[in-house]
Amino acid sequence: MGLKTEIAGIKMKNPVMVASGTFGYGEEPSKYVDLNQLGAIITKTVTLEPREGNPPPRICETSSGMLNSIGLQNKGISDFVNLALPFLAKFKTPVIVNIAGDSPEQYAKLAKILSREPIVKGLELNISCPNVKKGGLQFGTDHDATSNLVKTVRKATNLPLIVKLSPNVTDITVIAKAAAKAGADAISLINTFLGMSIDAETKHFNLGAKTGGLSGPAIKPVAVRMVWQTAQVVKIPVIGVGGIMNGNDAIEFFLAGASAIEVGTANFIDPQAPLKIVKEIEEYLKKHNLSHYKALIGKVN
Amino acid sequence: MPKQENCRILQHQQIASTVFKLTLSSPNLCQEAKPGQFVNIRVSSKYDPLLRRPLSLHRIIKKDNAFQLLYEVVGKGTAILSQTKPGDDLDILGPLGSGFSLPSEKQTIILVGGGMGVAPLVNLAEKIKDQRPKTKDQIIAFIGAGTKAKLYCEKDFKQIADKVLISTDDGSHGEKGFVSDLLYSRLTIHDSRPASIYACGPYAMLEAISNIARKNKIPCQVSMEAKMACGIGTCMGCVIKTKNGYKKVCDDGPVFDAAEIIWD
């Protein structure tokens, strides 16, 4: 069935990737899902130095969604290269590494280090994490900062660059255009919405960091809208992400203009969700007598 | 290895106004599970509530290839779960987490359960008895609850343990007061055999037990709770603060050495 694709020069057997932060570095989910069947694996964000992350509680369930405030907890780039990459090298699936830093120079340094690793097929720049003071939204909410960051990283690496955008902006197309013009090979959207939840009984914040990022089916309509808007204004591929739970959700994103998708929160509910989604896309193509999913991209009437 | 599988409900009993005992079939789980581990259950295929519900393993019934969960209805997830019936299948991930490290032999094994925290301790006590039928271990169970109606598993512990000591906050059954106070008062007459404490219950109780264990130099394992998303170690949502940094309750725990935890 027609699912093969190439996004930003990265060859994939299907357009279904796993979103950063919802799949770790693949090791734990590999007990439940065959990593070789995924379009690509996008790793949890890695930073230059280890990060402790935010104080708990870090998770709060909301109506058809969840808030998280993990705060980019990770062991830093050297642990990642020495421990996580060798595990991922056992699989045929392309590895895209999601990176974040406090400054454009830190992103560039990470890009240089990762460019030396043959199993890394691309980078996703996280400029949209709402849960950290540095290395997140300060780049993704300003088109000049986005442009400057992408240009700096572009000079540091030949790896394909995907820029992950935040929905916490007035007009996402402005940031998307800035990223594209500065040399991004693709754009992924959306990251989580900045949210908050309060326990009415205890009058406490439900998250240790007070605020967190909202994800899950609750945000899907906004994600579809933003993908549609962005796909109108940039020529590079748009990767849709936000609340995709099943094949139908994925089709919706293709119709809105996404060239591929990332499955995020669904991984927490069902580790096999990405593979079920691949199967459901195939069934849809068969039912609608289509030979390739690409026939759906941007075809909303 | 843990698995994602559809487990058939064999029995679903209401044992108190808001407490249920759920018996499920799974040869894999019975084979693999250790006391202190848990399962993460998808209570419905709908998206609200979205996340799975983690529940500790209450009993393993090897002859029936079945396992039991004991849970209280506390929100919409457990309310939906309580409506499921024998013959239904539930999507389950498990067994998950680290589990208790079993004590060395010839010990006094002190179990301390508060409220629903008794659930995994029954599994632990049964495992110890099962593995060491002629054991010289002595098992002493301390169980506590707010009130008599909320005290569970007394019968189970009376069958397994050499001694069962009970407390309720309101004095309606056993001694009046917290189970940690009961433990504290009885430890002073504790004999010279080596002992280990295994505790599960509300946070404040575990903190109190941990302090008692430290002062008496008794090794203590506690089963912790946290809001979880994935339950398998990927999301890093369920961390607690330890002397070795943040650790994941789902994966590094839920059972921790009490001395490792930094209590708030």
CB-CB neighbors (< 8 A) of B52 in chain A: 268-269
Cross-chain residue pair A22–B235, CB shorter than 8 Å: yes
Statement: residue B136 has pLDDT above 70? no
- The residue of A58, A70, A267, A276 whose CB has the most chain B CBs within 10 angstroms, and thus the best one to mutate to test that interface, is A58
CA B94 centroid distance within chain = 15
CB-CB neighbors (< 8 A) of A52 in chain B: 245-246
As its CATH architecture, domain B3-96 has: Beta Barrel (2.40)
Indicate the pLDDT class of residue B22, thresholds 50, 70 and 90.
very high
A61 CB within 8 Å of a chain B CB: yes
Rounded (10°) angle between helices B179-187 and B203-215: 10
Q: Which of A8, A35, A70, A129 is catalytic?
A: A129
CA dist., res. A85 & res. A121, Å (int): 12
Angle at A254 between CA A285 and CA A178, to 5 degrees: 160
Helix (H/G/I), strand (E/B), else coil: A224: helix
Nearest CA among A125, A189, A187, A185 for reference residue A160: A185
Cross-chain residue pair A61–B49, CB shorter than 8 Å: yes
B3-96 against B108-260: fold identical: no
Separation in Å, CA of B233 to nearest CA in chain A: 6
Chain A residue with the nearest C-alpha to that of B41: A269
Q: Please report the pLDDT score of residue B80 as a whole number.
A: 97
Chain B residue with the nearest C-alpha to that of A74: B236
Question: How confident is the model over B7-12, as a mean pLDDT?
Answer: 98
Rounded to two decimals, the ipTM of the complex is: 0.93
Q: What is the pLDDT of residues A244-270, one digit of tens each?
A: 999 999 999 999 999 999 999 999 999
Q: Please report the pLDDT score of residue B85 as a whole number.
A: 97
Say which residue, B138 or A249, is predicted with more confidence.
A249
Q: What is the pLDDT of residues B75-100, one digit of tens each?
A: 999 999 999 999 999 999 999 999 99
Statement: residue B103 has pLDDT above 90? no
Domain B108-260, CATH: 3.40.50.80
A60 among known catalytic residues: no
Q: What is the pLDDT of residues B190-241, one digit of tens each?
A: 566 788 999 999 999 999 999 999 999 999 999 999 999 999 999 999 999 9
Helix H, strand E, coil C: the string for chain B is CCEEEEEEEEEEEEEECCEEEEEEECHHHHHHCCCCCEEEEECCCCCCCCCCEEEEEEEEEHHHCEEEEEEECCCHHHHHHHCCCCCCEEEEEEEECCCCCCCCCCCEEEEEEEHHHHHHHHHHHHHHHHHCCCCCCEEEEEEEECCHHHCCCHHHHHHHCCEEEEEECCCCCCEECCHHHHHHHHHCCCCCCCEEEEEECCHHHHHHHHHHHHHCCCCEEEECCCCCCCCCCCCCCCEEEECCEEEECCCCCCEEEHHHECCC
Q: Are strands A193-196 and A186-189 parallel, antiparallel or unpaired?
A: unpaired
Cross-chain residue pair B227–A65, CB shorter than 8 Å: no
CB-CB neighbors (< 8 A) of A64 in chain B: 47-48, 50
Cross-chain residue pair A267–B47, CB shorter than 8 Å: no
- The residue of A22, A27, A28 whose CB has the most chain B CBs within 10 angstroms, and thus the best one to mutate to test that interface, is A28
Q: Please report the pLDDT score of residue A132 as a whole number.
A: 73
As its CATH architecture, domain A5-296 has: Alpha-Beta Barrel (3.20)
Q: What is the pLDDT of residues B156-193, one digit of tens each?
A: 999 999 999 999 999 999 999 999 999 998 886 556 67
User: In chain A, where are the structural domains located?
Assistant: 5-296
Q: What is the pLDDT of residues A27-67, one digit of tens each?
A: 999 999 999 999 999 999 999 999 999 999 999 999 999 99
CA dist., res. A257 & res. B73, Å (int): 44
Residues of chain B above pLDDT 70, percent: 97
Q: What is the pLDDT along chain A (301 residues), one digit of tens a residue?
A: 699 999 999 999 999 999 999 999 999 999 999 999 999 999 999 999 999 999 999 999 999 999 999 999 999 999 999 999 999 999 999 999 999 999 999 999 999 999 999 999 999 999 987 777 666 777 888 899 999 999 999 999 999 999 999 999 999 999 999 999 999 999 999 999 999 999 999 999 999 999 999 999 999 999 999 999 999 999 999 999 999 999 999 999 999 999 999 999 999 999 999 999 999 999 999 999 999 999 999 999 9
Nearest CB among A23, A53, A61 relative to B246 is that of: A53
Cross-chain residue pair A59–B235, CB shorter than 8 Å: yes
CB-CB neighbors (< 8 A) of A72 in chain B: none
Q: Please report the pLDDT score of residue B86 as a whole number.
A: 98
pTM above 0.90, yes or no: yes
Q: Please report the pLDDT score of residue B227 as a whole number.
A: 95
Q: Please report the pLDDT score of residue B106 as a whole number.
A: 79
A217 CB within 8 Å of a chain B CB: yes
Residues comprising chain B, all counted: 264
Cross-chain residue pair A32–B232, CB shorter than 8 Å: yes
CB-CB neighbors (< 8 A) of B96 in chain A: none
B210: amino acid identity, one letter: S
| Residue keyed to tokens 């295929």 | B45
User: In chain B, where are the structural domains located?
Assistant: 3-96, 108-260
Q: Please report the pLDDT score of residue A134 as a whole number.
A: 64
CA dist., res. B91 & res. B9, Å (int): 11
Separation in Å, CA of B162 to nearest CA in chain A: 39
Averaged confidence pLDDT in chain B: 94
Nearest CB among B1, B229, B245 relative to A66 is that of: B229
Q: Please report the pLDDT score of residue B138 as a whole number.
A: 86
CB-CB neighbors (< 8 A) of B4 in chain A: 32, 270-272
Helices (H), A13-93: 77-79, 85-88
CB-CB neighbors (< 8 A) of B97 in chain A: none
- The residue of A45, A268, A280 whose CB has the most chain B CBs within 10 angstroms, and thus the best one to mutate to test that interface, is A268
Q: Please report the pLDDT score of residue A136 as a whole number.
A: 73
